[in-house]
Amino acid sequence: MKDQPANKILSVDPDSPAAEAGIRPGDELLSINGNEINDEIDLTFYAADITD
């Protein structure tokens, strides 16, 4: 999936909070908790921060 941007949503579990929030495959994740996502490093860093 090298051609896909790091912040593109590829799939969403139908019973997940993401689905309930209206997130759909193909959407782009622009920020997490107000932190802008510019690349895979940002995504990994901020996603790890909310799972701790």
pLDDT of the residue at 5: 73
If one counts the domains in the chain, the total is 1
For residue 40, give its domain range.
Answer: 1-52
pLDDT range class, residue 10, cuts 50, 70, 90? very high
pTM of the model: 0.68
**What is the model's pLDDT at position 1?**
46
How far is residue 45's CA from residue 18's CA, in Å, rounded to a whole number?
19
Q: Where on the phi/psi map is residue 26: left (φ > 0), alpha (ψ -120 to 50), or beta?
A: left
User: What's the pLDDT at 2?
Assistant: 56
The pLDDT value recorded for residue 39 is 87
